[in-house]
Amino acid sequence: MAPSFFAKKRASFITFRDRKASSDTSTDATASNGFTTSPASSTGATTPPSLPEGLSVSSSVSNLESMTNSIPPPPPMRPTMSSTSSKRQSVQSVPGMSGLGSPLQKPSPLAPRITSIVEGAWVYQKVLSVYGTIGDPQERSFDGTITISRLDDGFPPICWPVCDSHFKGLVYLMPGPNKLRFDFTSPKLANSNSPNPVHSSYLTLHMVPPLSSPPLHLAILLGSDSPGTFDAVPARIEREGNGLETAIRKFRMTGYLWQAYTAEQMYRNKLGRRVFRMEEEWVQGTSNLRDRETGTMRSEAKIHVIRTTKTVAELRNLDITQQNADAKNKGELYTIATEAVKEYFKPAPGQTQYVSVLLLDAHWDKAAQTITGHAALGGGGNGIQLGIFGSQALQSYPSSFEEVVPAFTDCTKTDTNHVANDCNESGSNWEAANIGIGAHLHETGHLFGCPHQENGIMLRDYVTFNRAFTTREPYSTRTKSKGGLVLQKDECTWHRLDCLRFKTHPCFAIPTDMVRSGDESVEVWPVENGNVIVTAGSGVAYAEIFLEGEGECHHWHEFGDGNGNGPIQRQVTLTELDLRSRLPVDKQRAKMKLNIKSWSGGNSTIDDFSLLASKASRLKLPNGQQAFRCSKLGQSAMEGSTPDEVVFDSAIHKTKLMVQVRFYHGFALDGIEFFYEDSTSQLFGKRGGQPGGSEFNLDTRRGEYITGFIVRSGFWIDGIAIMTSLGRVSQIYGNPNGGSGHKLLVPLGYRIAGVTGSCAAWVDGFGVILIR
């Protein structure tokens, strides 16, 4: 028979276990009282805290019982999440039972599976698009609701529909770690109304705002006498208003949708979770309904309100609507908007402001069956990159997270007594939201430099923009189809070339990027054997291939980016055979135009690759050596422009020594004169501009010679500087801020033998001549 001491000791531990069990209120991975369950917790056993120092097993039972009775229970704690990284989010299923004796259940097979992002991922924007499944949709499908909530309650829980076991949703992120919970409920499942949801999963994401990149500004443009209202049906006006504050909320939410959609598209194209950022301000939150009720302050996207000097009547009388093919002044409203935006932001020299504008005074004129005060245009220059679009569909936009799905599933017929059926593709509210939000994003793509593409947002695929945020599409008046389940494959996209362009754009830089190179230039050098060498200080990104008669690019060649897609290549060799092998067989003999991009956003165009790689780019020097003309900078299109070319005497005669270069310039480059030790000289261009020109002397004692040029050019040659073998760089002679910058630094194994180009009133074309 066991000694009574051990019986009493065992009883005291049973008492301690029972007392602990009675205080438990949760069976989550971490008990609510702060104790952690042991691996044996599946049998109901727990590990009590260690005994205080000095208390041995042989201590009296009464002292032990006294000690355990005197320990106060720890305060209740919120269940904590594991922060360990994994390729899938951690999943917990809470069975809803309490008490120590309840076993920890296995993860529920119906816990939400987030397939768009992994546990511990880093993102760089405020609003994130997520999608996933419930169980295996191929085995059994469920309809129901996903509730996405933050464990810190920093943003209210938002519900998103589940259709055929698929779901999509938006997550509002704050800088730092964001601990999220996803709960699935369905009326067809037991315990769906339980206070402890049965089917739950958790996800921790880290958000870092990319504050080192220029922002996209969102602005609302008004006439000088505008009341600040937009077109809406009476029921909408009564329910939510159609004033300026409502417009701000809707446009802000539009910006968040653009951001979430674009970041997801970049990720799917394996170019990183990158997206433009928006300027923010500390205001009362509008992204959810609870903030409006409680007056919670948040850092939200700033909406600038800009008034023009034109009245509403003047803006609407401009016949610029896109629906009118005979419009006389389609670009005038764009000019007005540009002037107003430039006056408002006042960009400093060398600074570029990126602004997407909502024209609030756009108005549906039922009598004329047209939209006045509206234009859909994008582009820019001179410090302002601008996209503009009207407010004719603004009433259909969501103004908060809670309204996103209702906005994209609202089948209410468009009432053309009050609002427009834009392009006859907005027959219902959800379709109007697609046209307004999607077409405005299209114009924003133009301000980022995107041309029209063969498909995607930069064509007209935004008519299905809703599919990025919903899993079931309603009846469409545009296609006369009843809709149904829409998955990732059914969504509209940014074209791959748009994503590549964004990768190189300064607005899309993220903190993990290398420091952006100040040298954006891409230079093209024809050499022997029909090869063409392309150099770029920041790396060659990709080459667009345009065939004769094609308006959009259908073929391209990508190079490494240093992020898992191969190393960055700063010098590549192109051959006609390789380029044509990438084309369809029936188009391999067509004329090819190449548009080559650098990773810093620079650009170089080869109008005819076959011509550049042919004998037309070659010349034979008087000493019999073969030389090559590189592609020219400048347009060579000024009135009276004539070709000009200088082959250095020092490249032909080894006894000739170049000692000085003299630049003739004013607001542009007029000419360059090369002087030799024997007092002879060679002139390229004219001796104009500043009298006497500007001299740059070469250090002949150290064998200094010209290795390249830095050129500022656009329509003509604005300015030029010289680079030498000793690493010296002269000042820029001419206009140092004109045009765009190019660095003509010859490829390895070659040297400069002369210059080529054209000249009119001043130099309007410039290139160099290479020899081995």
CA distances (Å), 710 to each of 485, 742, 759, in order? 56, 6, 18
Q: In angstroms, rounded to a whole number, what is the distance separating the alpha carbons of residues 491 and 443?
A: 19
Q: Which of 115, 100, 110 is nearest to 25 (CA)?
A: 100
Using alpha carbons, select from 183, 26, 42, 203 the residue that is nearest to residue 110.
Answer: 183
CA pair distance 661, 680, nearest whole angstrom: 12
Beta-bridge mates of residue 708? 723, 745
Question: 3-class DSSP state for residue 692?
Answer: coil
Measure the CA–CA gap between 236 and 36, rounded to whole angstroms: 54
Cβ neighbours of 423 (radius 10 Å): 15
Please tell me what DSSP assigns to residue 627: E
Instruction: At 469, list the tokens.
Output: 């945020």
**Cα–Cα distance for residue pair 151/205, rounded to 1 Å:** 12
- Distance, in Å, from the CA atom of 330 to the CA atom of 526, rounded to the nearest integer, reads 42
- Cα dihedral 395→400→401→406 (10° resolution): -30
- Active site residue ranges: 443
Task: Estimate the share of the chain in helix, then strand, then coil, as percent rounded to the nearest 5.
Answer: 20, 30, 50
Determine the number of helices (DSSP H) and then strands (DSSP E) in the chain: 13, 40
Tell me the DSSP string of 288-326.
Answer: SHHHHHHT-EEEEE-EEEEE-SS-HHHHHHS---TT-TT
Name beta bridge partners: 204: 179
CA dihedral 414, 418, 424, 425 (to 10 degrees): -40
Sort 174 into a burial class: Cβ within 10 Å, 0-12 / 13-18 / 19+. Answer: middle
- Fill in the DSSP letter of residue 668: S
| R_g of the chain computed on alpha carbons | 34
The dihedral through the CA atoms of 280, 283, 289, 291 has a sign that is: positive
**Rounded CA gap, 145 and 402, in Å?**
13
The residue ranges of DSSP E strands in 404-548, in sequence order, are 472-473, 484-485, 522-526, 532-536, 540-547
- Would you state the structure tokens that stand for residue 315, as one six-digit string? 């803006």
Q: Which residue has the tokens 């939150």?
A: 285
Amino acid symbol at 409? T
Question: Which tokens hold the place of 387?
Answer: 């996209």
In sign, the C-alpha dihedral spanning 404, 151, 275, 302 is positive
Give the C-alpha separation, 633 to 714, whole Å: 8
Residue 387's φ and ψ, nearest 5 degrees, are -125, 135
**Residue 497: C-alpha distances to residues 542, 555, 557 (Å):** 9, 10, 10
Q: Closest by alpha carbon to 92, among 100, 103, 104, 78?
A: 104
